[in-house]
Structure 1
Amino acid sequence: MLDEVDHGLIHALHIDGRAPFSRIAAVLDVSTQTVARRYRRLRDAAGLRVVGLADPAHAAHAQWLVRLTAGPQAAQDLARALARRADTSWVKLASGGTEIVAVVHAATSHALLLHDIPRTAAVTAVSAHHLLHMYLGGPTAWRGRTSTLSPAQRERLEPAFTGPGQALADSDGALLKALQRDGRASLGDLAAATGWAPATVARRLADLRAGGAVFFDVEVDDTLLGVTTQALLWMSVEPAHLDRVASTLAEHHELAFVAATTGPTNLVAQALCPDPASLHRYLTRRLGALETIRSLETAPVMQTVKAVGPAARLPPPGRGPAPGTPRSAR
């Protein structure tokens, strides 16, 4: 398990993924060497990684949540294939390992959804749900990772930008790709990846962050935060009450993701809980109290094959989950 310094470091990186270790150390009241050492340990033991991403609200492409069902071995193979793609994230095996859920990022919805997904006998069902609005997730991190620092500490870590900010352009592709590999890459490394001068990289990155076009997410093994049970919740809500229900769910500590979608269910969420009993209490007491939720499907998450970044954490075939994947349910 993690101690207070580890929790503080993870929280700090969610506030500013590129904050210097010296500034984080000052806020946590420890040495810079301690922060650097803890970062390396969490990177090696817990899969800690800072990833720079385009804010979906500012991106030019649509996001689709794709559900596929297949036999257990076929599902694992297909999950690996999807995880290797540059246009996917959040690839998960659910429902006993026979269902794959993935987020697909595409300028058009047709390439992967209509042509690239294998149409084999092993795939028994495919459905695609357009993500219409994200209430929780993306730039807004799960509260289980961001409840350590005080308001005063958070304020000291908030990045300060000048100017109105700018939107992403086609010329930012190389910069965004480099940040997806490593959100804490040095200006020199980013300059080498883009062909720009380091000062140009610094200005452009500041402009994109100021405008909200780019944000930084953190990958880490949530079992070390006490999570052993994860589930995707597919809900059908009366349209007139959808915004109110989704906004209410976005305040629930148990949820890390809430979004409105198209399809037979119009609201999806991801629950992170300490154990099955906690998930049961959440479903029956908190969700059960919302009468406008007409139906609920709970799909336990068995393994995360790929998280927010483009680098898939793929376990070798037949060797179980990848390093950093929660052991009991992810």
Structure 2
Amino acid sequence: MTDDAQDSFTTLGIDETDLSLVHALQLDPRAPWTKVGAALDLDPVTVARRWARMADAGLAWVTPQMGQGQSARAFTAVVEVHCEAGRSLEVAATLARQPHAFTVEHTTGSRDLLVTVALPSLATLSRYLVESLGALPGVRETRSHLVTSVHAQGGDWRPRALDPQQRAQLATDGPERATTAGTRRLTDQDRQLMLLLCADGRAPLTDLAAELGVSVSTVRRRLHALAAGGDLELRCEVAQPLSGWPIATWLLAEVPGAEREEIARQLAELPETRVCLGLTGSRGNLSYSAWLRSLDDAERLEQLLAQRFPRLVVLDRAVVLRFVKRMGRLLDPVGRSVGVVPMDVWSDPFDEY
């Protein structure tokens, strides 16, 4: 870890043990503190106290992401937003309040913002892009890339803070990712449960049951069914500038269509990888994002990709200057969670904006 990164840890109260705790909850986001404590060789009360301190300060949180089942039913797009001079953060703040805009990033490069949006149909996606996002004051131009496949999501990234024995101990009986996408549509109760988890992915079953007006056993059964059916996945996030990997980069690339699946699979296995998406749009068919320790690593990463994937052509690149919103969480300039706008793909956007 660099001296600057260590200083950030000290100043804002994250240390290596906290990162180990984050890694543990990435493997099993709702693991009981007894299980986490055993893996970290810490008292469960100490582990719970550490998590409460981080969560209260917005340094780490557990949140849902769409599983394969829901991803297959939604229409997701990565949108490049070009803003009028001086209005980028104003536009970003407006977009961040919209539940269909999952992630809002202020970047370098030819665009000002990268926004990931998801809606229930192509028609509503089209209308949203034209009538809502494209019509916002301060927006000059947009370019959309429709996501056709998801090879890696941010919830797959790990800070590499645990040894193999600890990882095995935590992963033994944790929830498994569904290998096939389900076909069942969400009930209203399922949607309400997922929205509650956006606020706190580790909320006790008793609290969730009270909010929904059902029994604890019903909530437990629904959580299991949503995970098993590929509708729901939980992920543990950390304030990115404080993670030891403070640099986030995006690459837009073109690869031969017949090789895209295999190249994307190999990219997803790189430890730096945060996101890898198959795209269709005006240019490029692959979007790749990585978290790095320094800006120098961005150049080294491109060199590595060029050596390993000679038929991958980088069309555009960007460095994320700031995450304004990440998977429903509103973030301050230091990357801390300061609020939540629950992600709700299935609501009608024009009832809200």
User: 1:112 maps to which residue?
Assistant: 128
Provide the alpha-carbon RMSD of the alignment: 2.6
% identity of equivalent residues: 28
SS at match of 1:30: coil
Contact 2:253 2:286 in 1 (8 A): yes
Q: Does 1:243 align with 2:261?
A: yes
Shift in Å at residue 17 of structure 1? 1.1
User: 1:224 maps to which residue?
Assistant: 242
SS at match of 1:292: coil
- Take 2:140 and 2:181, find their aligned partners in 1: how far apart are those partners? 46
SS at match of 1:212: coil
Label 1:207 to 1:218 Cα distance change in 2 as closer, same or farther (>3 A): same
- Take 2:259 and 2:78, find their aligned partners in 1: how far apart are those partners? 22
User: 1:142 maps to which residue?
Assistant: 157
Q: Does 1:16 align with 2:28?
A: yes
- Take 2:309 and 2:40, find their aligned partners in 1: how far apart are those partners? 39
The CA deviation string for residues 19-58 of structure 1, in whole angstroms up to 9 with x for no partner, is 1112211221210111012112322445211012331443
Shift in Å at residue 96 of structure 1? 6.4
Matched letter for residue 36 of structure 2: I
- Take 1:6 and 1:149, find their aligned partners in 2: how far apart are those partners? 18
SS at match of 1:268: strand
Contact 1:53 1:176 in 2 (8 A): no
- Take 1:45 and 1:120, find their aligned partners in 2: how far apart are those partners? 32
Of 200, 204, 209, 2:218 maps to 200
Label 1:6 to 1:65 Cα distance change in 2 as closer, same or farther (>3 A): same
Q: Does 1:277 align with 2:293?
A: no
The CA deviation string for residues 254-298 of structure 1, in whole angstroms up to 9 with x for no partner, is 221111011211100112111111111111233344221133311
Matched letter for residue 14 of structure 1: Q
- Take 2:161 and 2:174, find their aligned partners in 1: how far apart are those partners? 13
Of 148, 152, 158, 1:132 maps to 148
Of 230, 233, 243, 1:212 maps to 230
Matched letter for residue 61 of structure 1: A
User: 1:27 maps to which residue?
Assistant: 39
Contact 1:187 1:198 in 2 (8 A): yes
210-219 vs 266-275, which deviates more? 210-219
User: 1:328 maps to which residue?
Assistant: none
Matched letter for residue 249 of structure 1: L
| TM-score (ref. length: structure 2) | 0.81
The CA deviation string for residues 180-209 of structure 1, in whole angstroms up to 9 with x for no partner, is 111111122212322222221111112212
Q: Does 1:69 align with 2:82?
A: yes
Q: How many residues align?
A: 315
Matched letter for residue 34 of structure 1: T
| TM-score (ref. length: structure 1) | 0.86
SS at match of 2:235: strand
Contact 1:226 1:274 in 2 (8 A): yes
Of 154, 178, 185, 2:196 maps to 178
User: 2:169 maps to which residue?
Assistant: 153
- Take 2:312 and 2:168, find their aligned partners in 1: how far apart are those partners? 38
Shift in Å at residue 123 of structure 1? 2.4
User: 1:47 maps to which residue?
Assistant: 59
73-82 vs 140-149, which deviates more? 140-149
User: 2:139 maps to which residue?
Assistant: 123
SS at match of 1:262: strand
User: 2:101 maps to which residue?
Assistant: 88
- Take 1:312 and 1:223, find their aligned partners in 2: how far apart are those partners? 15
Contact 1:165 1:208 in 2 (8 A): no
Shift in Å at residue 146 of structure 1? 6.8
Contact 1:261 1:268 in 2 (8 A): yes
- Take 1:311 and 1:214, find their aligned partners in 2: how far apart are those partners? 17
Shift in Å at residue 93 of structure 1? 0.5
